[in-house]
Structure 1
């Protein structure tokens, strides 16, 4: 008979005590593990890699987290520029979890980073065998393709890249770009053209791919197509010296005016025939024909047609002339005298001046059509025709003149809201974004002044894309009109309100983009997995079919030589031996990097500076991880695995679309992305039941109308299915 340390029946009390003690010990162990995880990940975010590695070594020592400590330490070793140490840790992690394709893929990249291509191919093949999803399978084939390319086995590499592009739409742009480069190396220019175009169709934000497409067109003796491709590349990266050189060279030998080649908007007459009176709102000055840096172009000439009778007003002399609506007038700059001429529909000279003046329709709400503008430099500028509300100011410069559109802020919102949202966006998402944009304008615009050169915003993506009436859509205009004056407040004050395209699950302020609450990224391996994996459909930003695949996940394969050339413009440290991230935000977004070569070290500080250094115009967001590929201990390639689009601040447009598709109203959307905020001025919605509005969620079809019983029934089915799927994935229910 077993002896118990407690007399008689007291053994039951003792057993209970031991059980409670064991539970308490487990609780303490779990709390200690969680605290160590937080500390290690926090050190990693701040670039303190040795401190982070110490935390994960401790977790490994106490047997916590299975293969995770080894994987975390491997990633830290990689990011510290220690590929040999990273490889040994990936071996350990894969042994602990042999069916995890992600671990096998990372082990393959580790081999490849050390020029061990044979072992890399074998490991990537194993990753493909054990993969259970398209993301891991595609990444394995992408790795095999790159290994074969490094071995100069180009024909075999083609097949692997093709498979990678088919398996994973998020990796397809990078795979197609690589196929184009392989075809170019084999002098197969027509296939190269096709592959580059397919890559750009899937993800247009690739200036380097556009430049290589232009080079392929040059080889195919298609100078006009090459000129257009270089123009497209320079629109994204105006600083590309090689593209500028080729662009200017082709321009000289085209035999016609280059701007005539551009597929720009050309409008015959104003479309706004019966304008409604605009809502009362403060005036706004928009610099027209600005480039990606916000600098307005100098114009030499343009034609205009007003949608109503108009007047010409000199800034100093007042009204000096009038004209009839729907007649085409001309304004041109004479460089010899540095004067501006105004000619009427019969080419009769009406006025000559060196002063600022404006064109103003007599009827409130009427528009002015700007036609066939001639710019001094149209690289990075949308030079298409545009119909604009309000008045047009002509401001002389030493090189021509600038154009400034002055109009009401509510009218301005019509166009920028349409540009920010996909066609067919749900009305409640439109309203939410309209409130954010109005709040942003109200907060950022300074009081109006008298300086004719002053502008509040520009019309390019540097501010917000603005095309006037030419870019408006009825649903966007309706959303603005239904929220006129509505803004966001915090503690009684107007708040700082921002927006971005896609948050990849968490905004920069820490808002989780899903129903309920839950832990965010807690470790280095979770951050890496986020950038490699197919996104979870439980996130709001993945619910709508209107959000593009490239908004969510993307990859870039950068050349080490090109990175060195960009770095050399600031300081030439020689061939790059190490590139590491030295600081990330709390959500994992990169804020600073450091590069090291024989000539020393260089730091790149700030999210914008980092993205402009790595791939000017091509980095969609700073939520990314880096995989270096070395040859002879010199950086040969750098793979950027990215998630999301934009800076992650404020409202996530993709998430707003998803929430609206799931039946959330504008107020709910705003409060979700701006917790504690007070949306004022939004109209109350009549109760309409539990319905999906305005489009098609990824998981099912939308309701056909608020009054349809079938619509409401279908919506309930969709939401119930979403709840079940979220529960299966372990996500909290809404």
Structure 2
């Protein structure tokens, strides 16, 4: 089964074809350094040492010798809008497609799903992770992908899909699969990281994918929407509190810890419960200080974020006003307070009321909150607020003290890494995070 992965888009795309690639329409051969420029009337101009070639879009370049050919895309953005955002050249196997995308010319990689998974596992984490973690992630990455493809098909059958509910004094929004209509998935954190053969793979990665070939998690006859995040912060969140209001019974909330070492968890939907939990240091799988385990699950740029279980940031009055204007389009004057209106079961804020001298506005869900309060994204929306007052009563600084890294739904990657390092078998890791789901082999 082949899938289509959107890699990069723009008015101009530069790439290198390592080996001969054939245009499926004209039967022409291309290789070497090429610059693609979008032309009018759905055409593309390919410019290389041999001159110019004007071709219709979509254009599919297929390797003549697939086992020995690859292509490099220049200046691919990774971690878009997150604090680790950067550009790098990336190398891919499979076919290169150029299409008219939503943001201009788009480069799409058409590749076999199992080959795709080998890259995803090495991109989402280190290829040196334990075999149990690699197998677990192969299953959930495969399941998530197939579930999203099915969801896209269902969305096409709906007349209206509304992921934003806005009033004069509130905006509740979630971000999900409906943003991609030109290909199956994107290659960045919005979907799941896919960086071709740029990330070093290992025999263990190939073994994990082959050992679980065709395996997915199923619930009630449907492939499971197997979400995952870096660190749940000790308690997992419900799907419906982060995305659309749809209940997935296999995505439950629970303490990410061994059943024999559970710490009593307060009601994290309350302010008192959330504060005691976030300020605490509890026994959780993802409360990990073992650098050997951390290095297995986090790639180099992820390790720039060392304080993922509990964290703190400080925003000045001026910084907060600037962020709200730049990221959320809100000009509320001096900010007096940040008030959680609703918290999820993991303590993550679902709706946040921002009180200013010129008005009050409520935002949600969790990703919208994380975007509005950071130059990139807050680690998570599970935070409490401390205010530093000046003598005149104006808040000079807001200190956000938080827990976890990401949305917290489904598998916690650092928690699963710890379980794998303890020798816990991959099926048990999956049953821990996706309760009631069954492992089935589709091919």
Q: Same fold (TM over 0.5)?
A: yes
Task: Please give the alpha-carbon distance, in whole angstroms, between the structure 1 residues aligned to 2:147 and 2:140.
Answer: 11
Counterpart in 1 of 2:297? none
Per the alignment, in what secondary structure is the counterpart of residue 12 of structure 2? strand
Asked if the contact 1:303–1:372 (Cα under 8 Å) also holds between the matched residues in 2, the reply is: yes
Counterpart in 2 of 1:586? 345
Task: Please give the alpha-carbon distance, in whole angstroms, between the structure 1 residues aligned to 2:215 and 2:315.
Answer: 44
Task: Please give the alpha-carbon distance, in whole angstroms, between the structure 2 residues aligned to 1:397 and 1:659.
Answer: 41
Alignment of 1:353-364 (within 5 A): 353-364=55-66
Counterpart in 2 of 1:321? 28
Change (3 A) 1:667 1:636: same
Asked if the contact 1:335–1:400 (Cα under 8 Å) also holds between the matched residues in 2, the reply is: no
Asked if the contact 1:331–1:340 (Cα under 8 Å) also holds between the matched residues in 2, the reply is: no
Change (3 A) 1:514 1:391: same
Aligned match for 2:205, one of 472, 476, 487: 476
Aligned match for 2:259, one of 510, 513, 516: 516
Counterpart in 2 of 1:272? none
Aligned match for 2:14, one of 273, 294, 302: 302
Residue 311 (1) aligns with residue 22 (2): yes
Aligned match for 1:530, one of 277, 283, 292: 277
Asked if the contact 1:413–1:434 (Cα under 8 Å) also holds between the matched residues in 2, the reply is: yes
Task: Please give the alpha-carbon distance, in whole angstroms, between the structure 2 residues aligned to 1:430 and 1:560.
Answer: 44
| Residue 482 of structure 1: how far off its partner (Å) | 1.6
Task: Please give the alpha-carbon distance, in whole angstroms, between the structure 2 residues aligned to 1:628 and 1:551.
Answer: 22
Alignment of 1:110-129 (within 5 A): none
Q: Quick check: 396-405 or 470-479, which moved more? A: 396-405
Asked if the contact 2:340–2:349 (Cα under 8 Å) also holds between the matched residues in 1, the reply is: yes
Residue 501 (1) aligns with residue 230 (2): yes
Give the alignment's Cα RMSD to 1 decimal: 3.2
Change (3 A) 1:507 1:306: same
Counterpart in 2 of 1:101? none
Residue 564 (1) aligns with residue 307 (2): no
Change (3 A) 1:506 1:601: same
Per the alignment, in what secondary structure is the counterpart of residue 286 of structure 2? helix
| Residue 354 of structure 1: how far off its partner (Å) | 4.0
Per the alignment, in what secondary structure is the counterpart of residue 521 of structure 1? coil
Task: Please give the alpha-carbon distance, in whole angstroms, between the structure 1 residues aligned to 2:133 and 2:76.
Answer: 38
Per the alignment, in what secondary structure is the counterpart of residue 454 of structure 1? coil
Per the alignment, in what secondary structure is the counterpart of residue 468 of structure 1? coil
| Residue 423 of structure 1: how far off its partner (Å) | 4.6
Counterpart in 2 of 1:426? 130
| Residue 288 of structure 1: how far off its partner (Å) | 1.3
Per the alignment, in what secondary structure is the counterpart of residue 60 of structure 2? strand
Task: Please give the alpha-carbon distance, in whole angstroms, between the structure 1 residues aligned to 2:41 and 2:225.
Answer: 47
| Residue 382 of structure 1: how far off its partner (Å) | 5.0
Aligned match for 1:600, one of 359, 362, 371: 359
Larger strand percent: 2
Task: Please give the alpha-carbon distance, in whole angstroms, between the structure 2 residues aligned to 1:374 and 1:425.
Answer: 25
Change (3 A) 1:498 1:399: closer
Change (3 A) 1:398 1:510: closer
Task: Please give the alpha-carbon distance, in whole angstroms, between the structure 2 residues aligned to 1:531 and 1:630.
Answer: 23
Query: Would you say how many aligned residue pairs link Structure 1 and Structure 2?
Result: 379
Counterpart in 1 of 2:183? 455
Task: Please give the alpha-carbon distance, in whole angstroms, between the structure 1 residues aligned to 2:135 and 2:38.
Answer: 46
Counterpart in 2 of 1:238? none
Asked if the contact 2:66–2:93 (Cα under 8 Å) also holds between the matched residues in 1, the reply is: no
Asked if the contact 2:81–2:376 (Cα under 8 Å) also holds between the matched residues in 1, the reply is: no
| Residue 454 of structure 1: how far off its partner (Å) | 1.6
Counterpart in 1 of 2:379? 620
Which structure ranks higher in relative contact order (CA pairs < 8 Å, sequence separation ≥ 6)?
2
Aligned match for 1:414, one of 90, 112, 118: 118
Asked if the contact 1:366–1:390 (Cα under 8 Å) also holds between the matched residues in 2, the reply is: no
Change (3 A) 1:435 1:399: closer
Residue 332 (1) aligns with residue 36 (2): yes
Per the alignment, in what secondary structure is the counterpart of residue 440 of structure 1? helix
Asked if the contact 1:358–1:394 (Cα under 8 Å) also holds between the matched residues in 2, the reply is: yes
Aligned match for 1:651, one of 411, 420, 424: 411
Counterpart in 1 of 2:428? 668
Change (3 A) 1:459 1:382: farther
Aligned match for 1:540, one of 275, 285, 290: 285
Alignment of 1:282-301 (within 5 A): 282-289=1-8, 297-301=9-13
Q: Which runs of 5+ in 1 are unaligned?
A: 1-281, 290-296, 683-734
Asked if the contact 1:595–1:601 (Cα under 8 Å) also holds between the matched residues in 2, the reply is: yes
In terms of Rg, which structure is larger?
1
Alignment of 1:248-397 (within 5 A): 282-289=1-8, 297-307=9-19, 309-313=20-24, 318-323=25-30, 327-333=31-37, 340-342=44-46, 347-349=49-51, 351-370=53-72, 372=74, 383-396=87-100
Asked if the contact 1:311–1:361 (Cα under 8 Å) also holds between the matched residues in 2, the reply is: yes
Task: Please give the alpha-carbon distance, in whole angstroms, between the structure 2 residues aligned to 1:610 and 1:499.
Answer: 19
Task: Please give the alpha-carbon distance, in whole angstroms, between the structure 2 residues aligned to 1:649 and 1:334.
Answer: 39
Task: Please give the alpha-carbon distance, in whole angstroms, between the structure 1 residues aligned to 2:141 and 2:99.
Answer: 27
Task: Please give the alpha-carbon distance, in whole angstroms, between the structure 2 residues aligned to 1:489 and 1:542.
Answer: 29
Per the alignment, in what secondary structure is the counterpart of residue 436 of structure 2? coil
Normalising by the residue count of structure 1, what TM-score does the alignment of the two structures yield? 0.48
| Residue 567 of structure 1: how far off its partner (Å) | 3.5
